Amino acid sequence: MKPPVISIVQRGYQDRYGFQRLFLRYSWLYKTNYIALSWKLLPKDWDQKTQTVKPRATLGGETAAIVNGDLSKTLNKAYSIIADLIANELPPTFDAFKPKMGAEKKSAFLFFDAAVKMLDEEYAGKQISASTLKVYKASLNKFKELNGDLRMQELTRDQVVAFKRNIVQGGKENMANQYVKYLKIIYSRVLKHYKLADVHKPFEDVSIRIVKISEKKSMTMGEYLTFRKALADYAPESTEYETIRRFLIMCRGLRFSDTTQIQKTQHYFTFEDGGTKFQYLTVNAQKTGTKGIVPISASDEVLLQWQPDGLLFEKLQYPVYVKRLKKLSLELIGREITTHFGRHFTGDFILNSTGMGLDDVKAIIGVKSDRIAEIYAQKDIKEVLKKFYAAVANLESKSD
């Protein structure tokens, strides 16, 4: 029995943006039929020969890997149905084929279960990364926790707005917007995955603006000085003491990842000029690869407590440290902060409010960390350190 010929094609009218829908083409015994698929794309982004979406295609937020994965599953399912019909000596007519292609279509299933199943399949097919899977599931878990186990067609805009409002009232507006953003993406994918209609449009006109931390004020001077004073309230080497010590170093412009690499023999330098002792750390930023210096003033010297292995801080996983910092900051200044608050404090307050510009820091990016190179770079470093020490002295005089 001759099997039908199956392929995916673009056909029909283009919408006002130039997008055209994909169809499953089914040809058998000189008869051709079509089944509309979920995806629309620009004609230039479709490779008819390989039956795939081209990389970097314009897909309204999806990736080519996601679309190609869905198309591959559609074709595999079609071939499986045809093979089953032929094996049972049944004519593979379109009338016999079409109901089986839509047999799994459901509209009354739980949003959480459907979304998790779809995400697990995408992860198994390497269409999304482990980190993406984690954040998507976190948003789903939070939504289920606050709204219960809703069916797809029960989702409404009022429920989404109430979900966002609940989190915002807890003082976590950015988190609320992130969750809603992820839920909107997941909801859209579930609709396409199961070929469902968007009945209530639950995410329509719901604001999901994500405010970057760099757009906020990181910390006030008073909050920074509260951390400085609190260091003396805890026993050296205690969890609280080490959490504050590390954060105060990050208040000199470092990311958490930068603090994990600082070694005394490689990154710590000191010299004297006019009776003043100058100290600084050189850091090769792990996130960007750029090199820079971290000025260490006289009052910062207490922060330089080297570990037996030569590192400035003990080895610690980022999530563990952030959890400790949030708990401690809530106790000290009444709100949770993250490691980036310290980094932005440097630029927002110490640098820009004392006449010390960012060019002073940029001027020494690229300085090598070996001692011979430092000798030649020390003139520029000295000027930056003098300005920074004056800035720190001015800041700390406000706490007296």
Neighbours of 357 (CB within 10 A): 12
Report the alpha-carbon distance of residue 208 to residue 217 in Å, rounded: 20
SS3 of 171, please?
coil
User: What is the predicted pLDDT for the residue at 9?
Assistant: 94
Two tokens at 154? 């029960």
Q: pLDDT (tens digit, 9 = 90+) per residue, 212-229?
A: 444 454 677 788 889 999
The dihedral region occupied by 268, where left means phi > 0, alpha psi between -120 and 50, and beta the remainder, is beta
Distance (Å, whole) CA 132 – CA 182: 10
Q: What is the pLDDT of residue 348?
A: 58
Query: Which residue intervals of the chain bear CATH 1.10.150?
Result: 111-211
Q: Name the residue among 308, 110, 350 with its Cα closest to residue 219.
A: 350
pLDDT class for 126, splitting at 50, 70, 90?
confident
Query: Cα separations (Å) of 219 from 318, 320, 321?
Result: 21, 22, 19
Instruction: Report the C-alpha gap between 382 and 387 in whole angstroms.
Output: 9
- Burial environment of residue 300 by CB neighbours within 10 A (0 to 12, 13 to 18, 19 or more): buried
**Rounded (10°) CA dihedral 147, 150, 155, 160:** 20
Percent of the chain exceeding pLDDT 90 equals 28
Nearest to 374 by CA among 271, 260, 253, 250: 271
How many angstroms separate the Cα of 303 from the Cα of each of 9, 179, 222? 65, 37, 19
- Read off the pLDDT band of 349 (50, 70, 90): low
CATH placement of domain 221-397: 1.10.443
The per-residue pLDDT for 60 is 57
- The structure's pTM equals 0.44
Cα separation, 169 vs 174, whole angstroms = 12
Architecture of domain 111-211: Orthogonal Bundle (1.10)
Which of the two residues, 144 and 288, has the higher pLDDT score?
144
| 8 Å CB contact between 124 and 58 | no
Kindly state the DSSP code that residue 238 receives in the 8-state scheme.
S
| 103/393: higher pLDDT | 393
pLDDT band, very low/low/confident/very high, at 367 (cuts 50, 70, 90): very low
Please, where in the chain does CATH 1.10.443 lie? 221-397
- Range in 1-5, 172-176, 202-206, 215-219 the model is least confident about: 215-219
- The model's pLDDT over 275-331, given as tens digits with 9 standing for 90+, comes to 888 888 887 765 555 566 788 888 888 899 999 999 999 999 999 999 999 999 999
